[in-house]
Structure 1
Amino acid sequence: MMTDACLKCGSPMNPKELICSVCGQNDREEYQLIRNYVRSYPNSNAMQIANATGVSVSKILRFIRDGSLTVVDQDTHRR
């Protein structure tokens, strides 16, 4: 029984989930865009990634906060 609503779009959905399947698919697609961009341009900051991919800075930062993306401190990798 679908009684709850998606936290993102408000669509009715399974109450055991936080977001609906459509929003989940959109998140996965945006994550892939970001990941592909960062692989090509590894020293990019969140604003550069957002401008190149169209994904909001807040969503990029959310991916970083939840551990989907990691930040590498360039100073610790210099020799």
Structure 2
Amino acid sequence: MESCLKCGSPMNAKDLICSVCGQNDYDEYQLIRNYVKTYPNSNAMQIANATGISISKILRFIKSGSLTVVDQDVHRRS
């Protein structure tokens, strides 16, 4: 039996994190997504301050491709 990479709890060997940590990640992702839908021009610091989710976790979601960054300057260059 393997241990969760986040909390160390025993879990199935096929997964990297346990179901509790996976659900926590999903819940935080949904919170970030909902915030960004309401405030689409927010930066990572604003999202972190509003949601209580760490900047490093927000940046991990971006790096993994779960969240995308839109360059607002591209839209202004018409």
**Could you say which TM-score interval applies, normalised by the shorter chain?**
over 0.9
One-letter amino acid of the structure 2 residue matched with residue 47 of structure 1:
M
Aligned to 2:23: 25
Map 1:1-79 → 2, pairs under 5 A? 3-78=1-76, 79=78
SS in 2 for 1:37: helix
Cα RMSD after superposing both structures: 0.6
After superposing on structure 2, the runs of 4+ consecutive aligned residues of structure 1 that deviate more than 4 Å are none
Q: CA offset at residue 77 of structure 1?
A: 1.3
Separation in structure 1 between the aligned mates of residue 26 and residue 42 of structure 2, nearest angstrom: 20
The total of aligned residue pairs comes to 77
Q: Which amino acid aligns with 1:22?
A: V
Q: State TM-score, norm by structure 2.
A: 0.96
Which residues of structure 2 form unaligned runs of 5+? Answer: none
Offset at residue 39 of structure 1 (A): 0.5
Q: Distance in 2 between matches of 1:60 and 1:10?
A: 22
Letter in 1 for 2:3: A
Q: For 1:4 and 1:52, locate their aligned partners in 2 and report how far apart those are by CA, in whole Å.
A: 35
The superposition leaves residues 46-74 of structure 1 with CA deviations (integer Å, 9 ceiling, x where unpaired) of: 01100100111000000000000000000
